[in-house]
Amino acid sequence: MPIKANLPPEPEFAAPLAPNHPSPETLRLLALRRSTPVAALSEPGPAADDIDAMLRLAMRVPDHRKLEPWRVLIIAGAARALFGDVLAAARHLRDPDATQDQLAAERALPFRAPLILCVVSSPVHDKKNTPVWEQQLSAGAFCQNLLIASQAMGWAGVWISEDAAYDGHVQAALGLSGHEQIAGFIYLGTAKEQPVERQRATVSNKATRWTG
């Protein structure tokens, strides 16, 4: 059941903040967090104030030198049909032999969920030459914050890329500049069915203690 985000006021610049926020609910969310397959998403989706709240939360990510190297395109409502046309045109350019059924399938992709948030990695070339890789990592953290915030608000979602994220026609149609990339499409809505647990990495397999 979705809830309205009761967020505290945004802190003023240079205001002192707590260094930690003990929260059993956050630990539980992280321990059980699971993306919902895009085929299992449906209406309804987040309202405008929900979107504003989750974007505000998503922006509180590590961001070396405060460059804000990301931006978001909100694709919802009738804009999904326009985005579907872009996907179909891109498919036709990649594959001139694509059938009408295949192109129709591309047009239907944006309608798998009521809301798509396209997160764009937009590195800044600053005087201190902040590594682009660090800025791209910040965009990835932005995507993850979106997933966590949306789930905490009661929505289901998934972070995907598919061919569209790497397609030049799609990037141009969405207004990306040459230095920008699509970090991911966050599809959000209501789950039609419960996702099931997937195979997970284990600490013993992925963590080693470095001793010099």
Q: Write out pLDDT tens, residues 35-94.
A: 999 999 999 999 999 999 999 999 999 999 999 999 999 999 999 999 999 999 999 999
Distances (CA, A) of 152 to 5, 64, 157, 200: 9, 26, 11, 21
All domains in the chain, ordered by first residue:
38-75+114-194 (3.40.109.10)
Which one-letter amino acid corresponds to residue 5?
A: A
What is the Cα–Cα distance from 17 to 107, expressed in whole angstroms?
Answer: 46
Q: How confident is the model at residue 134 (pLDDT cuts 50, 70, 90)?
A: very high
Which residues are within 8 A (CB) of 84 and not within 5 positions of it... i.e. 6 or more apart? Answer: 106, 107, 108, 109, 110, 111
What is the Cα–Cα distance from 138 to 79, expressed in whole angstroms?
Answer: 27
